[in-house]
Structure 1
Amino acid sequence: MNRIKTREIAVQLTYQMMINKEEPSEAIESFKEAFEGDITEIDDTYLNQVVNGVNEKKDQLDVIIEKYLVNWKLGRVSKVNLSILRVALYEILHFEDIPNKVAINEALEIAKKFSDEKSVSFINGVLDKALKDM
């Protein structure tokens, strides 16, 4: 099971739920129906925990994110970056088996893939400040 790939999918589904106003179960089901490849490579338990957890704790996660935005409002953060931040913070807060540095590094790798270079620095800054306060 590939947690790195699954984390990437969790970010994509979190983004998809924002855009399509979907529930986690709908997003996960439509992903699985459309998935091309070996579905056994996806960590199903982790995917369900993260996507459902981010959805349930969205308001709490957004309060933390907003606290560490410098001269920004939450509404100005791109949906892609917000998805990355929510997934990373959820991991930091709720997965003791994932080291915080791993959660942050993986978030930065996902940002490099789906966002731009400025976003990588932005996400790193928010997560780093949040982590120092925890």
Structure 2
Amino acid sequence: MSRRVARQVAFQTLFQIDVGNCDVEEALQQRLADAVLDEANEQYVNEVVRGVYAYRAALDAQINDVSTGWRADRIGAVERSILRLAIYEIVFRDDVPVPVSVNEAVELAKRFGDDDAPRFINGVLGTVVRDGGFA
């Protein structure tokens, strides 16, 4: 399976944790049991979900800093989960090129977000990239 599918599984897991207020390990176990991923992509999902969860406060602070007029807790859960995932990749994952992180986040927004989500996600991530990651 592709990294795109793994990224979607990671997004869905993060969304489930955010909306369902469920345990990270429980959500990971459930999502990975339902997914068909090779070992490398399963490891990616585990690392990204745990990393986003560990740095959630810092990621949300970054979202607050760059999304003019919006706070992370006021952004829809879909968009918030996508932004957390993408910013985590941009800042912490050397194996994912920045343009790929941005493009994949926009694609997730097209698939799971509302009509304005792709433009919003692209704008926020563009600012993060321009500002060089964490403020």
TM-score (norm 1): 0.92
Counterpart in the other structure of 2:77: 79
Runs of 5+ unmatched residues, structure 2: none
Structure 2 residue matching 1:43: 3-state secondary structure = helix
| Structure 1 consecutive aligned stretches of length 4 or more whose deviation exceeds 4 Å | none
Query: Quick one: distance in 1 between partners of 2:94 and 2:40?
Result: 20
Q: Is 1:16 aligned to residue 16 of structure 2?
A: yes
How many residue pairs get matched? 132
Report the CA distance between 1:72 and its aligned residue.
Answer: 1.8
| CA–CA distance in structure 2, aligned partners of residues 74 and 29 of structure 1 | 26
Q: What is the rounded CA distance, in whole Å, between the counterparts of 1:80 and 1:26 in structure 2?
A: 20
Within-5 A mapping of 1:63-102: 63-102=61-100
Structure 1 residues 22 and 114: alpha-carbon distance in aligned structure 2, compared to 1, 3 A threshold = same
Identity in percent: 36
Instruction: Compute the RMSD of aligned alpha carbons.
Output: 1.5
Q: Is the 8 A contact 1:3 1:42 kept in 2?
A: no
Is 1:5–1:42's contact at 8 Å kept on the other side of the alignment?
no
Query: Which whole-Å CA distance do the structure 1 matches of 2:80 and 2:11 have between them?
Result: 9
Q: Counterparts in 2 of 1:10-49, with a 5 A limit?
A: 10-33=10-33, 35=34, 38-40=36-38, 43-49=41-47
CA distance in structure 2 between the aligned counterparts of 1:5 and 1:39, rounded to whole angstroms:
8
Letter matched to residue 18 of structure 2: M
Encode CA deviations 1:75-115: one digit per residue, 9 max, x unaligned. 22000000000000000011111110100000000000001
The normalised TM-score by structure 2 is 0.91
Matches of 2:50 and 2:20, distance apart in 1: 16
CA separation in 2, counterparts of 1:41 and 1:109? 24
Task: State the alpha-carbon separation in 2 of the partners of residues 54 and 102 from structure 1.
Answer: 18
